[in-house]
Amino acid sequence: MNKQNTAELRINTLPVPTWRHLKMNGCDLTVSYEESPQPLTLASLQHEGLLVSQLDTNTTSQDGSLSSFVQQKSNSSFRVVVEEGRNANSPLKLNYFLDATNPTVIDDLVVDMEPFSCATILQGYRTPIEGKATFHGGNLKAHVGSGASLTVIQLRFLNEGTTDLGYLDITVADGGKLEVVQIAIGSAQSYIGTHVELQGDGAECTVSCMNIVDRQGVTDLNVHIEHRGKRTLSTLVARGALLDEASKLFRGTLDFHQGCSQSKGSEDESSLLLSPKVKNRSIPLILCGEADVEGSHAVSSGKPDQDSLFYLMCRGIEERKARRMLVEAQLEPILGRVPDKKIQSEIRRQLARRLERDEQ
């Protein structure tokens, strides 16, 4: 057995705290993980159009943040540069498999999108359906230069023994565009933070999150989008389904700073509750220091719509299938943002497996 380590982390902190009894202001975690071999090699990441190199970070910070932890303990560290004006046609794929021989992945990725460049980065984290407890901690730091465009797709298909921590910290310059798609199915506990700063005028971002949590899984999400430049635009969409005894906490913050005039932000979160024992918590914030903006959020939570279920069953569709159709329809806005049909099929298979188990 490899050497066991522990770390104490403070993550997913709400930008503005609220009542302590709600326990939504942030998470103090103690995590344990094994030392593990390097999961990916630089040679496997050579990509036409992107400059990929080993990342060397020398931080000694003990601030308890996930990014400091990852920088110090990573076993997979890369830097990606997309040169000015370059359009990478195919996505850079970083696929990690966590299992008994490689139980820990701590990956640190820095992405520098030079002006008017374009790229897609796909990070996949997968485990066997059943198996040994594994640990993932990830940090992605990116800058999207003027007029550049970056798409980040993160897939997490993890078994019930996995602890999964992730943090994205991305800045977007004038006219830059960012799309983040995060799809997480399974895991014992998952803590994912996303911080986007729309620094430049006309910067845009779309953050889409899909979370399917089952068994006794715990999912804790924190998305914080800061509008600093003028005419910035943000869209945050979250869709989820909770099964068995799962629990989820979603924190979503649209933060309009003074000077970000004519900016717009919207947040839309919806959760399906598929068992009487689930816990669903949400705290969607709008922080506003600028008059000339438009911000909105909407949150809904409940069982699949009974009228729709009745309608489908009246058309001869059996209840189990009708219910699954409604769940898939709920998640469709996120699925549709994944450009690769093969990945879409994989997500649908993962989803079907969870729902079938729920129906048995």
Partner 1 sequence: MQAEKTRLEEVDLSRYDFIEHAEPALRLAPGLNEAVVRAISSEKGEPSWMLAHRLKSLETYHEMAMPAWGPNLDELDIGKITLYSRPKTGMNDSWDDVPEGIKDTFERLGIPEAERVSLGGVGAQFDSEVVYHKVKDEVAAQGVVYCDMETALREHEDLVRRYFMKLVPPSDHKYAALHGAIWSGGSFVHVPRDVKVSIPLQSYFRLNAEGAGQFEHTLIILEPGADLHFIEGCSAPKYSVINLHAGCVELFVGKGARLRYSTVENWSKNMMNLNTKRARVEEKGTIEWVSGSFGSHISMLYPSSLLVGEGSHSEFTGITFAGKGQVLDTGSKVIHSAANTTSSINTKSISKNGGHSITRSEVIITKAASHAKSTVSCESLMLDSISRSDTIPAMDIRCEDADIGHEARIGRISEQAIFYLMSRGLSESEAKGLIVRGFAEPIAKELPMEYAVEMNNLISLEMEGSIG
The residue ranges that bind partner 1 (CB under 8 A) are 16-20, 22, 24-25, 256, 258-259, 261, 273-276, 278-303
Q: Is 43 helix (H, G, I), strand (E, B) or coil?
A: helix
Q: Distance between CA 194 and CA 223 in Å, rounded?
A: 5
Q: Are 45 and 38 in contact (CB under 8 A)?
A: no
Indicate the residue among 241 and 331 with the shorter CB distance to partner 1: 241
Torsion angle (degrees, nearest 10) of CA 331, 336, 337, 342: 110
CB of 39 to partner 1, least distance (A): 37
Q: Which two tokens stand for residue 47?
A: 């990509």
CB of 257 to partner 1, least distance (A): 10
CB of 230 to partner 1, least distance (A): 12
User: Looking at the DSSP assignment, which residues form a beta bridge with residue 167?
Assistant: 139, 193
Q: Is 136 helix (H, G, I), strand (E, B) or coil?
A: strand
> Which residues in the chain belong to E strands, given as ranges?
4-11, 27-34, 51-54, 76-82, 92-97, 104-113, 118-126, 134-144, 149-158, 162-172, 177-186, 189-198, 204-213, 218-227, 233-242, 247-256, 263-273, 279-288, 293-302
Indicate the residue among 85 and 259 with the shorter CB distance to partner 1: 259
Indicate the residue among 25 and 57 with the shorter CB distance to partner 1: 25
**Strand 218-227 with 263-273, pairing:** unpaired
CB of 284 to partner 1, least distance (A): 6
State the SS3 of 214-258. CCCCEEEEEEEEEECCCCCEEEEEEEEEECCCCEEEEEEEEEECC
CB of 138 to partner 1, least distance (A): 28
CB of 23 to partner 1, least distance (A): 9
The residue with tokens 């089952």 is 214
CB of 319 to partner 1, least distance (A): 16
Q: Are 261 and 304 in contact (CB under 8 A)?
A: no
CB of 17 to partner 1, least distance (A): 4
Indicate the residue among 184 and 254 with the shorter CB distance to partner 1: 254
CB of 271 to partner 1, least distance (A): 8
The residues near 43 (Cβ < 8 Å, ≥ 6 apart) are none
Q: Are 142 and 119 in contact (CB under 8 A)?
A: no
CB of 309 to partner 1, least distance (A): 13
Helices (H), the chain: 66-73, 306-314, 319-335, 341-359
Q: Distance between CA 243 and CA 265 in Å, rounded?
A: 30
Q: What phi-psi label fits residue 22: left (phi over 0), alpha (psi between -120 and 50 degrees) or beta?
A: alpha
Indicate the residue among 85 and 289 with the shorter CB distance to partner 1: 289
